Structure 1
Amino acid sequence: MGFIRTLRGDISPDELGFTYSHEHIVCTPPYWKEKKEEDLLLDDKEKSKKDVRDFVRAGGKSIIDATAVDYGRNVPAVKEISEELGVHIIGTAGFNKSFLWEAKIPSHLKEVIGNYETYYEWIEKQSIHQLAVFVISEVEEGLEGTPYKAGQVKFGTGYNRITPLEEKTIRAVARAHHETKAPIHSHTEAGTMALEQIEILQSENVDLRHVSFGHMDRNIDLTYYKQIARTGAFLSFDGIGKIKYAPESARIQAILSLVKLGFEDQILISGDTARKSYYKHYDYGLGLQYIITKWVPRFIEEANEAGLDGEALIKKFFIQNPAVCFAFKK
């Protein structure tokens, strides 16, 4: 099955345990900082750590930190949380979506990627190969010049569109995947454009079984899910607790529908907890313990009522599937 690469080193897939597949722990996105969007700045290590501690105390073992270079990572702080709490955290190389690239590049990053003014300028002026080399270095050498290596590679696209620079990063990430064997994660804005992303990945000869598509519960559409799932890719339902987008009943029914169609091996669950107002210890939100303590019991009950084995499905979504999805392919 390969290995899982965490910020503290490589582990075997069976060491991963109960896993959230998409979170953000400590980050100060330059775009949102420039816009003075305080809610989107997870800038207090100790407050983030308290929420991660809640997750661990509830039975959590591992977290995929999906924060890419353009989203203001604080790699040392996240590594310290991992060490201090004994939780496995997987870091992310690659890129997010294009509008975030309007932001100015922080000075410490210019030492790593070059003296560019904005992310847009950097991505525009670099070749696909040069961007791929950067992503490869973050997997094989370390994130942002640290010795802490990424365990997945990522790209993203905007709402109902893929810009030329986003396509460029998709191809760079695909080529970095071929070189490093790292799993791929896709940001889909509001759950859109996964099929178009798949066409680009297929043109780069990527085996879709090594790709997870995020934010699927922002676009609740069973036909769309089937089209993605038939490629072998993973579908990440990572908006748990975000009732402003959809009620939990809709998410759960969508997941159960996929299970009944035989796609239970391709489902991941998480919260994408990327705002102060989502965190308990920043701003009294539901917090990182919510999925384990509140959502999981509800899902088990509804799955059992539907004639399925709820506890077995939870083990599948949070333990077995992540162990496959986030392993480096042989």
Structure 2
Amino acid sequence: MEFIRTLNGDIAPEELGVTYSHDHLYCIPPLWQEKKIDDFMIDDIEASIKDVELFTAQGGQAVYDATAIDYGRKTAELKEISDRTGIKIIATAGFNKAVMWPGQMAGTGGTFQQWIDGHTRAEIRDHVVSELTVGMDGTSYKGGVAKFGTGYNTISEAEDKVTRAVLDAHKETGCPLHSHTELGTLILEQLAILRQEGVDPTRLTMAHVDRNPDHWLHLKAAETGLFMCFDGISRVKYHPESVLIDCILNLVRHGHEDQIVVGGDIARRTMYRNYGEGGLGLGYILESWAPRFMEQAGDAGFDGKALFEKFFVKNPQRAFVFKQ
């Protein structure tokens, strides 16, 4: 049996529709809140809804919200956004990365690091399984993806334990997997852990691969069959759009078009249109980037519309599926 788990229940994969495969629609990261970094506070539900409406106006239908508990996941608010806008939201179980773990973990009286250090791999697995099958944050709304992550060229002992626990949760539930790579580092090292644990890489979507625009590295990773998320679109401070499109087309040229998904990873008020900063907003990828990509793909001899359909519709249907 195959299905996609959204905050409004399980659906058939073909019901998902046009999908952003990595974004953050509402989140209050505990560590950044403690440090008073206001730009990371995506905490105005009305502003978030207005930006989602920019997305739906361009034909958007679904979003994978990659906010895990340590990045300030707010399940009830995500459900409200889904209900009020009609979009399907896939939410995140698991954890993000160790740099966030000095933040306070609600309901524990301590930090995420202390909670992780005080729990075994099996206990962390059970926590993630519960988020996937019972509910998150005291609600009955279930996660649709299990997430793990690593730091910038580092995998801490705690990150390694969490990663393997999340992989255990995947084995128990058949859930899809998502990983954070800091600036696109440790891609092959993460895949090595999957190999050690006997997990099929085709069940993993890896984030931020475009932050490290290394053609050789991308092809080596793609050979495993994983999904590669290009989610740095509009973040020219990392790389211009031309670099990202060149990376995508290089993968297509080598036959990996069925493994590419796209998102914006909007996690700052200054990147949203309706948080008072006038950023590009949630509509940008579909409204502006996708037409440019299709034009450049056509110039390179590919069918741009067919590639759009794969990246935004067909590939997410396979990337986010539970298999039981």
Q: How does 1:4-43 map to 2 (within 5 A)?
A: 4-43=4-43
1:290 paired residue number: 284
Deviation at residue 220 of structure 1 after TM alignment = 0.2
Partner secondary structure for residue 27 of structure 2: coil
| 1:117 and 2:123 matched | no
Deviation at residue 201 of structure 1 after TM alignment = 1.4
Offset from partner CA, 1:24-56 (integer Å, 9 cap, x none): 011100010111110011011110111011101
Deviation at residue 14 of structure 1 after TM alignment = 0.4
- Output the CA distance in 2 between the equivalents of 1:168 and 1:105: 18
Contact persistence 2:17–2:60 (CA under 8 A): yes
Partner secondary structure for residue 186 of structure 1: strand
Partner secondary structure for residue 10 of structure 1: strand
Partner secondary structure for residue 284 of structure 1: coil
Contact persistence 1:116–1:122 (CA under 8 A): no
The TM-score, its normalising length taken from structure 1, stands at 0.97
1:320 paired residue number: 314
Deviation at residue 87 of structure 1 after TM alignment = 0.5
Q: Which amino acid aligns with 1:292?
A: L
1:54 paired residue number: 54
Please point out which of 150, 170, 174 is paired with 1:177: 170
Contact persistence 1:30–1:71 (CA under 8 A): yes
| 1:161 and 2:154 matched | yes
Partner secondary structure for residue 302 of structure 1: helix
Deviation at residue 123 of structure 1 after TM alignment = 0.4
| 1:250 and 2:250 matched | no
Please point out which of 296, 299, 309 is paired with 1:302: 296
Deviation at residue 78 of structure 1 after TM alignment = 0.8
- Output the CA distance in 2 between the equivalents of 1:9 and 1:281: 29
Deviation at residue 116 of structure 1 after TM alignment = 4.1
1:88 paired residue number: 88
The gaps in structure 1 that reach 5 residues or longer are none
Please point out which of 226, 230, 234 is paired with 2:223: 230
Partner secondary structure for residue 322 of structure 2: coil
Deviation at residue 321 of structure 1 after TM alignment = 0.2
Please point out which of 175, 184, 187 is paired with 2:180: 187
- Output the CA distance in 2 between the equivalents of 1:19 and 1:105: 30
Partner secondary structure for residue 312 of structure 2: helix
- Output the CA distance in 2 between the equivalents of 1:135 and 1:144: 12
- Output the CA distance in 2 between the equivalents of 1:105 and 1:154: 17
1:216 paired residue number: 209
- Output the CA distance in 2 between the equivalents of 1:116 and 1:200: 32
Contact persistence 1:210–1:329 (CA under 8 A): no
Please point out which of 177, 197, 210 is paired with 2:190: 197
- Output the CA distance in 1 between the equivalents of 2:266 and 2:173: 28
Q: Which amino acid aligns with 2:158?
A: L
- Output the CA distance in 2 between the equivalents of 1:288 and 1:38: 19
Contact persistence 1:155–1:173 (CA under 8 A): yes
The TM-score, its normalising length taken from structure 2, stands at 0.99
- Output the CA distance in 1 between the equivalents of 2:200 and 2:33: 37
- Output the CA distance in 1 between the equivalents of 2:253 and 2:66: 29
Offset from partner CA, 1:154-212 (integer Å, 9 cap, x none): 00110011010000010010000001111000000000011111111111110000001
Contact persistence 1:235–1:266 (CA under 8 A): yes
| 4+ runs deviating over 6 angstroms | none
Please point out which of 242, 252, 255 is paired with 1:259: 252
Contact persistence 1:170–1:201 (CA under 8 A): no
Deviation at residue 240 of structure 1 after TM alignment = 0.6
- Judge which range, 301-310 or 97-106, deviates more: 97-106
The gaps in structure 2 that reach 5 residues or longer are none
Deviation at residue 99 of structure 1 after TM alignment = 1.3
Q: Which amino acid aligns with 2:312?
A: F
Aligned residues: 323
Partner secondary structure for residue 64 of structure 1: strand
Offset from partner CA, 1:45-85 (integer Å, 9 cap, x none): 11011101110111000000000010111111110110111
- Output the CA distance in 2 between the equivalents of 1:30 and 1:140: 25
- Output the CA distance in 2 between the equivalents of 1:104 and 1:139: 22
